[in-house]
Amino acid sequence: MTRVKLLYVNRMRDRHGKVRFYFRRHGKRTPLPGLPGSAGFMAAYQAALAAKPSPVATGQDAKGTFSALIAGWYGSASFKGNAPGTRRTYRYDAERFREKHGHRLVADLKAEHVEKMMDAKAETPAAANKLRQFLRQLMKQAVRTKLITADQNPMRGIERLKSNNPDGFPQWEAEHLALFRAHWPIGSKPRVALELLLCTAARRSDAIRLGPQDIRDGAIYFRAQKTGDAVGVPISAELREALDAMPVRPLRVFIATEYGKPFTGNGFYNWFTARAREAGVPKGLGVHGLRKSAACHLAEQGFTVPEIAALGGWKTLALVQHYIRGVDRARMLKNAMARQARLQAKP
């Protein structure tokens, strides 16, 4: 069967395991029906291809609007100073916001409007807080460019929503890892993915780019896309065994699609989540939970918080401390019990 390769088309598997296709350009994602090459698919593809991107605001009539503010923000030092991954996230959020509110005046945005937008996302606090973070950055640009004063900034006093899960993404426990390993043996692609994520504590945006070229002297070296930091992690025995069992062929990346191409971040997330469910791993445990588990695994081996932050590319020590606090509590309890036993053993 001939494979149809089309510009801007992304393929991903949803949480039910169904393959879906999307047209993605200029930060906007449009679902495409059916399969590539079918009449319905090609009609939707041609329509998406012909659609005009959101215009960059120009001219006197656009002055003071969110469209003009966003266009100026893209060219600012504050935006360009972010890591590439962060810039992509902000640009995606900005284009979605501009599509809906680009014609509105920046000076008209009030705190109550922001609170209403966040309230609409109350069932998903992470999404509400992501919107808050984006608007905080955007309104700082509005203050810098004197569209509003610092006192007029509507983001002052806007609080984060409390998460439904204060501990964040659930961590994979030993029994979950055992389930996955029992279902996906050494030599399978899902097993390589698991061991790679667990060994490196890499974000999905980094894990999908790792390949043989990143291995030197028994370690994997890469630069984290989100932070730009250089990361080096010793290869674990489990990862070495999984890599050695991979089919011998020219590899660009360790984890590739069925077509031999690198995954997109979302595509890998959906693919790995589906493989975890097939292995019987409970719903809710995914890629990010493995990153948390990797931090805890390093802590259990005696690595310090700064060492774990350096190995995993975490920017702040506080985040690592938050991840491993359960390990710290268990270690302190174990030490306290050992101390008590020694005291009781004394004559």
Q: How far apart are CA 147 and CA 70, in angstroms?
A: 12
- CB of 171 closer than 8 Å to CB of 296: yes
Please write the tens of the pLDDT for every residue from 229-287.
Answer: 788 888 888 999 999 988 766 578 898 888 888 888 888 989 999 999 999 999 888 88
Q: What is the pLDDT of residue 124?
A: 81
Segment 217-221 shows an average pLDDT of 89
Please write the tens of the pLDDT for every residue from 168-179.
Answer: 567 788 899 999
What share of the chain in percent tops pLDDT 70? 82
Taking 60 as the threshold, does the pLDDT of residue 220 lie above it?
Answer: yes
Q: How far apart are CA 260 and CA 235, in angstroms?
A: 24
Q: What is the pLDDT of residue 34?
A: 86
Please write the tens of the pLDDT for every residue from 175-196.
Answer: 999 999 999 999 899 999 999 9
Average pLDDT, rounded, for the chain: 82
Segment 62-69 shows an average pLDDT of 88
More confident residue, 273 or 312: 273
Q: How far apart are CA 285 and CA 274, in angstroms?
A: 11
Q: In order of start, what are the domains of the chain with their CATH numbers?
A: 9-50 (no CATH), 60-152 (1.10.150), 174-333 (1.10.443.10)
Q: What is the pLDDT of residue 347?
A: 58
More confident residue, 321 or 140: 140
Q: How far apart are CA 27 and CA 75, in angstroms?
A: 17
Q: How far apart are CA 142 and CA 41, in angstroms?
A: 41
Q: What is the pLDDT of residue 112?
A: 94
Q: How far apart are CA 221 and CA 232, in angstroms?
A: 4
Segment 315-343 shows an average pLDDT of 60
Taking 50 as the threshold, does the pLDDT of residue 59 lie above it?
Answer: no
Q: What is the pLDDT of residue 190?
A: 94
Taking 70 as the threshold, does the pLDDT of residue 330 lie above it?
Answer: no
More confident residue, 313 or 3: 313
Q: What is the pLDDT of residue 194?
A: 94
More confident residue, 142 or 18: 142
Taking 50 as the threshold, does the pLDDT of residue 60 lie above it?
Answer: no
Confidence label for 295 from pLDDT (cuts 50, 70 and 90): confident
Confidence label for 139 from pLDDT (cuts 50, 70 and 90): very high
Segment 325-333 shows an average pLDDT of 53
Q: What is the pLDDT of residue 5?
A: 66
Long-range Cβ contacts of 113-122 (<8 Å, 24+ apart)? 113/154, 114/154, 114/155, 114/158, 115/158, 118/158, 118/161, 122/161
Taking 70 as the threshold, does the pLDDT of residue 163 lie above it?
Answer: no
The alpha carbon of residue 282 and the mean position of all alpha carbons in its chain are separated, in whole angstroms, by 20
Which residue type is seen at 1? M
Secondary structure string (H, E, C) spanning the chain: CCCCCCCCEEEEECCCCCEEEEEEECCEEEEECCCCCCHHHHHHHHHHHHCCCCCCCCCHHHCCEHHHHHHHHHCCHHHHCCCHHHHHHHHHHHHHHHHHHCCCEHHHCCHHHHHHHHHCCCCCHHHHHHHHHHHHHHHHHHHHCCCCCHHHCCCCCCCCCCCCCCCCCCCCCHHHHHHHHHHCCCCCHHHHHHHHHHHHCCCHHHHCCCCHHHEECCEEEEECCCCCCEEEEECCHHHHHHHHCCCCCCCCCCCECCCCCECCHHHHHHHHHHHHHHCCCCCCCCHHHHHHHHHHHHHHCCCCHHHHHHHHCCCCHHHHHHHCHHHHHHHHHHHHHHHHHHHHHCC
Confidence label for 346 from pLDDT (cuts 50, 70 and 90): low
